[in-house]
């Protein structure tokens, strides 16, 4: 089938960008969306041009590296999947598809569709862990965890850090990302000791990175490839508020 | 006369159960106050790299940690699904450190080093403790204790898991520990950097040259030791279950600087993957092995039978695993299931558009247990399959075909994980030591974390404490020289202005590799590969096209450098496979099989690790052998009939 594309091209962080039209024929239904872009790039290279820069790695929806806004929707309209899991089967012959990067002040563009998400790493550095040095752990079964709590923690821990929540949010908030990590540890006994410092540290860093605040649009939940619930955001707010009081009381 | 190093594995004396304990005591320590004066480079942030960098940072070393991705959390360990083994014996079903050791040596078909495997089994229990303490959300029983499952044909339940995302959760645990050290200032993170060469000073590994993948600039880093945690090389086959950026470049450049490469032909082809569907396909997707618990594998009895599977009557189907291996049936080990699928497809009985697929049929299981029971067991896998192929496995049999998955071979290391270059260590899948010629399910995560959390913190300290080295900074002439060579290499790659892309060469190589150096290998095919690969390489260096600028974000340049290395590594794999005229584990030589067509090991001639020493471009590398001694697990024939 034939696909028409409008792709965001931008040569560097400070260069002006624009949508460029491409048209590509002979696309097979069995191809993935990224394989369609591979095919396009091979054609561009053969024609002497510069291929479209985009990122991907595992191509099975778990590494969180890929992330494109497809027809205005982060990871595409299908939902509950990453860009690499979008298949060409969901498009029709002759369709026009617009492809843009995830856009947020805190995710500056590096080139074309490639963005810098290192803000997420800096947020994680402020408490996205349990501080336990290698070798100092007790026997794992000495700390029982309720099955439901483990499942709830896993629901939050499923986040792949792709940033679709930020791209989908009208405020470019990272609340779902941060809320998911904070929530994971609230469910677990291992997370209790640092509960307050984690909430304060991660939320403050999120603000410092220039992400917006949450105003309950829930677009993040709709875009999340791992279907992480916005309940994680309300939990984050509770944790943060409690931690603020605890901080003032101490 | 060879001036090759004699391969001394430095295995400690004493009974296998005591070796690690006594070695830990005998090793020298670095004074706590002195650790921060020592800089350690860790390349890679997967399970091995992140756990090593975090643990060394905690100890007080000054750690520089590099990865090619935008964030350490994306390393390919993240994609491991199944689980991680540990000899906890929480299920009271007879497991023990010795049994895990025994199973791993036997599973590796007697081509792994006993002492390493025993240490791996010993520290396996500490790994689970560590990860649980980090808040890894492992599956739990109702009483709150950890849940286990039996995995990959093991007779005990020793596999710990976090849904189907065990690798992701373990990696996020290690990544969290790493980011904590970044915050503490003991680890400095360098994402979007690709290691392109190793710098040696006075024959010791003292630094690396990296390309900054955003600016394109070359960068120099100096250290007292270099740890390679850069994963395996399955992407040499082009199509594999690995992430598309996985590569062998860092390890290969170290090979060319004197690190021996061991058992390159030991690769694992995973039997249950979604088959290739078209020419432009970029990767193969693994479906959990658990599917074989209820799915029946079959192909049509007749060649070229292109009827719909539902139109093929029962008596015209060949359930070949069940007939050939009545005792294990569809649950035979990975290598046997893979090879059998290839055999029936080579006979012309494969199915699907390419003829390289077999059916995995849940019809009987659905009739027996009902659709709902099957949905509960495999619902997510069925929907993933449906999504990718457009076929509904509740209605029509799945199609599967084996895909390259894991590489047991890698840089040769001694018991301390040090390569033949002093000061250069290799951890995780990047080394060769623990899985022999076949890796058991749920053992890869265990080995990566074992090396990083519990082995290298000790053995690196011993190296630093017992090695006298001068102060070196990046202005040293050795850095000038290596950087100049890397620059020339990049200039050569950029200068050709040819017609073909790096991917085209990669696909061309991959076709040869999977066909001749894949699931079964023979003299004729291997010799053919040894002739063809250099031809492709020669053409590559004349006719490659890389668009854009080297001093820019340039994905095509990244790919080209990796393909250039694969074009050399592929040849070494074929050479190693040809040299090893026996069948063992994942390595099947057609010439070495018994009357029934089963793999025939040759312990008399091949009970060794084959380590290859680089002698220069175009020269045949030298084979150096490390004899393997089995003092505890006596080699026997693996039989699954």
- ipTM value, please give it: 0.98
**Angular region, B173: left φ>0, alpha ψ -120 to 50, beta rest:** alpha
Mean pLDDT of B297-323: 96
| The domain boundary residue, chosen from A62, A92, A114 | A114
Per the prediction, chain A carries an average pLDDT of: 97
Structure tokens belonging to residue B527:
């010799």
Q: Residue B76 and residue A58: Cβ atoms within 8 Å?
A: yes
Kindly state whether residues A110 and A129 are assigned to the same domain.
no
Q: Is the confidence at residue A149, as pLDDT, over 70?
A: yes
Strands (E), A180-241: none
d(CA A130, CA B357): 45
Kindly state whether residues A148 and A87 are assigned to the same domain.
no
Mean pLDDT of B271-291: 91
Q: Residue B553 and residue A126: Cβ atoms within 8 Å?
A: no
Q: Residue B58 and residue A134: Cβ atoms within 8 Å?
A: yes
Residue B397 covered by a domain: yes
Q: B36 near B153, Cβ under 8 Å?
A: no
Residue B571 covered by a domain: yes
Size of interface A-B (CB pairs under 8 A): 213
Dump pLDDT digits (tens) for B607-630.
999 999 999 988 999 999 999 999
Kindly state whether residues A58 and A79 are assigned to the same domain.
yes
φ and ψ at B407, to 5 degrees? Answer: -120, 120
Q: Is the confidence at residue A169, as pLDDT, over 90?
A: yes
pLDDT for the residue B1: 41
Cα pseudo-dihedral A205, A209, A210, A214, rounded to 10: -40
Q: Residue A143 and residue B73: Cβ atoms within 8 Å?
A: no
Structure tokens belonging to residue A105:
């002040």
d(CA B137, CA A157): 8
- The DSSP symbol for B621 reads P
- What's B387's domain CATH number? 3.90.700.10
Kindly state whether residues B508 and B601 are assigned to the same domain.
yes
Structure tokens belonging to residue B404:
């390259």
Range of the domain at B561: 477-606
- What's A183's domain CATH number? 1.10.1060.10
Confidence of residue B4 (pLDDT cuts 50, 70, 90): low
* Three-class SS state of B386: helix
Residue B626 covered by a domain: no
Instruction: Give the residue among B219, B281, B287, B173 at the shortest CA–CA distance from B41.
Output: B219
* Three-class SS state of A128: coil
Q: Bridge-partner residues for B133, per DSSP?
A: none
Give the sheet arrangement for strand B261-262, strand by strand: B410-411, B261-262, B608-613, B622-627
Range of the domain at A137: 118-249
pLDDT for the residue B641: 74
Kindly state whether residues A144 and A168 are assigned to the same domain.
yes
Structure tokens belonging to residue A250:
């101490």
Nearest C-alpha in B relative to A87 = B388
CB neighbour list of residue B289: distance below 8 Å, 6 or more residues apart: B82, B151, B152, B270, B271, B272, B334, B441
Kindly state whether residues A128 and A240 are assigned to the same domain.
yes
Confidence of residue B70 (pLDDT cuts 50, 70, 90): very high
Dump pLDDT digits (tens) for B116-150.
999 999 999 999 999 999 999 999 999 999 999 88
pLDDT for the residue B2: 52
Kindly state whether residues A86 and A128 are assigned to the same domain.
no
pLDDT for the residue B629: 96
Residue to mutate among B163, B180, B247, B550, with most A CBs inside 10 A, is B180
d(CA A116, CA B390): 34
| The domain boundary residue, chosen from A62, A84, A114 | A114
Q: Is the confidence at residue B637, as pLDDT, over 90?
A: no
Dump pLDDT digits (tens) for B526-540.
999 999 999 999 999
Residue B448 covered by a domain: no
First to last CA, chain A: 66
Long-range contacts: B474-480, Cβ < 8 Å, 24+?
Answer: B474/B207, B474/B220, B474/B221, B474/B222, B476/B199, B476/B201, B476/B206, B476/B222, B478/B199, B478/B200, B478/B201, B478/B206, B478/B207, B479/B199, B479/B207, B479/B209, B479/B220, B479/B222
Confidence of residue A246 (pLDDT cuts 50, 70, 90): confident
Sign of CA dihedral B159, B165, B167, B170: negative
Q: Is the confidence at residue B3, as pLDDT, over 90?
A: no
Residue B598 covered by a domain: yes
Strands (E), B3-130: 39-43, 62-66, 84-85
Dump pLDDT digits (tens) for B98-115.
999 999 999 999 999 999
Kindly state whether residues A97 and A144 are assigned to the same domain.
no
Mean pLDDT of B272-295: 90
Structure tokens belonging to residue B380:
């997510």
Structure tokens belonging to residue A10:
């931008």
Q: Residue A157 and residue B162: Cβ atoms within 8 Å?
A: yes
Kindly state whether residues A105 and A214 are assigned to the same domain.
no
Mean pLDDT of B170-197: 98
φ and ψ at A23, to 5 degrees? Answer: -140, 135
Structure tokens belonging to residue A63:
């590494």
Kindly state whether residues B397 and B483 are assigned to the same domain.
no
Q: B477-495 vs B555-579: helix axis angle to the nearest 10?
A: 100
Residue to mutate among A131, A132, A142, A201, with most B CBs inside 10 A, is A132
d(CA A75, CA B7): 51
Residues of A in contact with B138 (CB under 8 A): 140, 150
pLDDT for the residue B323: 95
Q: A70 near A225, Cβ under 8 Å?
A: no
Q: Is the confidence at residue B391, as pLDDT, over 60?
A: yes
Number of domains in chain B: 2
Catalytic-labelled residue, pool B74, B334, B601, B638: B334
Q: B67 near B224, Cβ under 8 Å?
A: no
Number of CB atoms found within 10 A of residue B294's CB: 19
Q: How far is B189 from chain A (nearest CA, A)?
A: 10
Residues of B in contact with A55 (CB under 8 A): 70
Q: How far is A225 from chain B (nearest CA, A)?
A: 13
pLDDT for the residue B636: 87
Residue B529 covered by a domain: yes
| The domain boundary residue, chosen from B402, B433, B468 | B402
Q: A2 near A24, Cβ under 8 Å?
A: yes
Instruction: Give the residue among B565, B472, B468 at the shortest CA–CA distance from B235.
Output: B565
Per the prediction, chain B carries an average pLDDT of: 95
Q: Is the confidence at residue B477, as pLDDT, over 90?
A: yes
Q: Which of A190-194, A210-214, B292-296 has the lowest mean pLDDT?
A: B292-296
Kindly state whether residues A102 and A154 are assigned to the same domain.
no
Confidence of residue A220 (pLDDT cuts 50, 70, 90): very high
Sign of CA dihedral B168, B172, B178, B179: positive
pLDDT for the residue B5: 65
Q: Is the confidence at residue A48, as pLDDT, over 70?
A: yes
Mean pLDDT of A114-134: 98
| The domain boundary residue, chosen from A89, A114, A139 | A114
d(CA A153, CA A150): 5
Output the furthest CA–CA distance in chain B (Å, rounded): 76
Number of domains in chain A: 2
Residue B295 burial class via C-beta count within 10 angstroms: exposed 0-12, middle 13-18, buried 19 and up: buried
State percent of chain B over pLDDT 90.
89
pLDDT for the residue A163: 98
- What's B547's domain CATH number? 1.20.58.100
Confidence of residue B271 (pLDDT cuts 50, 70, 90): very high
| The domain boundary residue, chosen from B402, B437, B457 | B402
- B640 vs B299, more confident: B299
Residue B537 annotated as catalytic: no
Q: Residue B134 and residue A143: Cβ atoms within 8 Å?
A: no
Residue B280 covered by a domain: yes
Kindly state whether residues A125 and A102 are assigned to the same domain.
no
Nearest C-alpha in A relative to B130 = A137
Dump pLDDT digits (tens) for B400-411.
999 999 999 999
Structure tokens belonging to residue A215:
């105003």
d(CA B535, CA A65): 35
| The domain boundary residue, chosen from B368, B402, B436 | B402
Q: In whole angstroms, what separates CA B489 from the centre of its chain?
A: 27
Residues of A in contact with B74 (CB under 8 A): 57-58, 63-65, 161
Kindly state whether residues A127 and A231 are assigned to the same domain.
yes
Structure tokens belonging to residue B180:
């904590």
φ and ψ at B134, to 5 degrees? Answer: -75, -10
Closest CB to B129: pick one of A42, A58, A140. Answer: A140
Closest CB to B165: pick one of A136, A138, A158. Answer: A158
d(CA B446, CA A186): 27
- What's A49's domain CATH number? 3.10.20.30
């Amino acid at each position: 089938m034939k696909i028409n594309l409008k792709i965001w091209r931008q040569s560097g962080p400070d260069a002006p960008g624009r949508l460029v039209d491409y048209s590509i024929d002979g696309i097979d239904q069995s191809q993935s969306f990224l394989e369609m872009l591979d095919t396009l790039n091979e054609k561009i290279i053969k024609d002497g041009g510069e291929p479209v820069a985009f990122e991907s790695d595992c191509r099975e929806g778990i590494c969180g590296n890929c992330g494109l806004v497809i027809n205005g929707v982060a990871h595409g309209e299908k939902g509950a999947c990453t860009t690499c899991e979008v298949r060409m089967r969901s498009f029709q012959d002759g369709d026009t598809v617009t492809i843009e990067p995830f856009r947020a002040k805190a995710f500056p563009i590096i080139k074309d569709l490639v963005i810098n998400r290192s803000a997420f790493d800096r947020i994680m550095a402020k408490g996205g862990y349990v501080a336990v040095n290698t070798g100092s752990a007790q026997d794992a079964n000495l700390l029982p965890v309720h099955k439901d709590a483990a499942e709830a923690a896993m629901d939050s821990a499923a986040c792949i850090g792709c940033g679709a929540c930020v791209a989908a949010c009208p405020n470019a908030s990272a609340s779902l990302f941060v809320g998911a990590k904070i929530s994971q540890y609230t469910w677990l006994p291992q997370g209790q000791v640092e509960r307050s410092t984690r909430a304060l540290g991660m939320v403050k860093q999120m603000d410092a990175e220039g992400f917006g605040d949450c105003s309950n649009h829930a677009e993040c939940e709709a875009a999340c490839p791992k279907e992480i619930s916005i309940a994680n955001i309300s939990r984050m707010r509770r944790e943060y508020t409690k931690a603020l009081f605890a901080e003032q009381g101490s | 006369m060879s001036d090759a190093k004699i391969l001394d594995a430095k295995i400690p004396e004493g009974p296998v159960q005591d070796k690690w304990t006594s070695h830990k005591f005998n090793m020298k320590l670095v004074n706590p106050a002195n650790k921060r004066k020592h800089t350690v480079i860790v390349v890679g942030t997967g399970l091995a790299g992140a756990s090593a960098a975090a643990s060394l940072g905690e100890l007080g070393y000054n750690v520089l940690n590099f990865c090619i991705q935008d964030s350490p959390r994306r390393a390919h360990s993240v994609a491991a699904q199944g689980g991680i083994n540990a000899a906890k014996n929480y299920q009271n079903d007879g497991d023990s450190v010795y049994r895990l050791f025994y199973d791993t040596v036997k599973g590796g078909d007697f081509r792994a080093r006993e002492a390493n495997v025993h240490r791996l089994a010993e520290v396996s229990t500490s790994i689970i403790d560590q990860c649980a303490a980090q808040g890894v959300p492992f599956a739990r029983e109702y009483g709150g204790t950890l849940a286990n499952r039996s995995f990959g044909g093991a007779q005990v339940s020793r596999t710990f898991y976090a849904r189907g995302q065990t690798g992701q959760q373990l990696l996020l645990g290690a990544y969290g520990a790493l980011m904590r050290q970044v915050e503490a200032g003991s680890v400095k993170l360098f994402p979007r950097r690709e290691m392109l060469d190793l710098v040696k000073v006075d024959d010791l590994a003292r630094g690396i040259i990296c390309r900054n993948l955003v600016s394109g600039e070359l960068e120099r880093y100096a250290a007292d030791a270099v740890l390679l945690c850069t994963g395996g090389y399955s992407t040499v086959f082009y199509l594999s279950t690995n992430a598309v950026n996985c590569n062998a470049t860092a390890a290969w450049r170290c090979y060319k600087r004197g690190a021996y490469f061991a058992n390159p032909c030991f690769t694992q082809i995973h039997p249950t993957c979604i088959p290739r569907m078209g020419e432009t396909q970029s990767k193969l997707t693994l479906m959990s092995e658990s599917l074989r618990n209820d799915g029946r594998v079959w192909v049509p009895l007749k060649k070229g039978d292109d009827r719909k599977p539902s139109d093929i009557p029962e008596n015209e189907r060949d359930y070949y695993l069940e007939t050939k291996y009545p005792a294990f049936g569809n649950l035979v080990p990975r290598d046997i299931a893979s090879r059998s699928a290839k055999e029936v497809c080579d006979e012309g009985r494969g199915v699907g558009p390419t003829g390289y697929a077999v059916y995995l049929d849940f019809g009987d299981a659905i009739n027996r247990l009902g659709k709902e029971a099957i949905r509960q067991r495999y619902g997510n896998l069925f929907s993933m399959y449906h999504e990718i192929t457009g076929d509904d496995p509740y209605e029509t049999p799945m199609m599967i075909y084996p895909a390259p998955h894991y590489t047991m071979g890698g840089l040769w290391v001694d018991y301390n994980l040090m390569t033949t270059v002093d000061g250069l260590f290799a951890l995780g899948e990047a080394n060769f030591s623990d899985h022999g010629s076949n890796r058991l399910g749920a053992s890869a995560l265990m080995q990566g974390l074992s090396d990083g959390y519990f082995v290298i913190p000790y053995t690196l300290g011993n190296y630093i404490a017992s090695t006298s080295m001068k102060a070196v900074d990046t202005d040293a002439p050795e850095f000038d020289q290596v950087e100049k060579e890397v620059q020339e290499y990049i200039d050569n790659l950029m200068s050709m202005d040819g017609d073909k892309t790096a991917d085209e060469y990669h696909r061309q190589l991959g076709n040869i590799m999977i066909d001749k150096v894949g699931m079964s290998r023979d003299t004729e095919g291997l010799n053919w590969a040894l002739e063809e690969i250099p031809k492709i390489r020669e053409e590559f260096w004349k006719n490659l096209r890389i668009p854009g600028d080297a001093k820019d974000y340039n994905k095509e340049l990244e790919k080209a450098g990796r393909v250039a290395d694969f074009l050399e590594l592929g040849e070494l794999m074929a050479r190693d496979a040809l040299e090893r005229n026996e069948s063992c584990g994942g390595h099947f030589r057609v010439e070495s099989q018994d009357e029934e067509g089963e793999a025939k090991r040759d312990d008399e001639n091949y009970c060794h690790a084959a380590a290859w020493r680089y002698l220069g471009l175009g020269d045949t590398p030298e084979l150096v052998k490390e004899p393997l001694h089995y003092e505890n697990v006596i080699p026997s024939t693996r039989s699954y009939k």
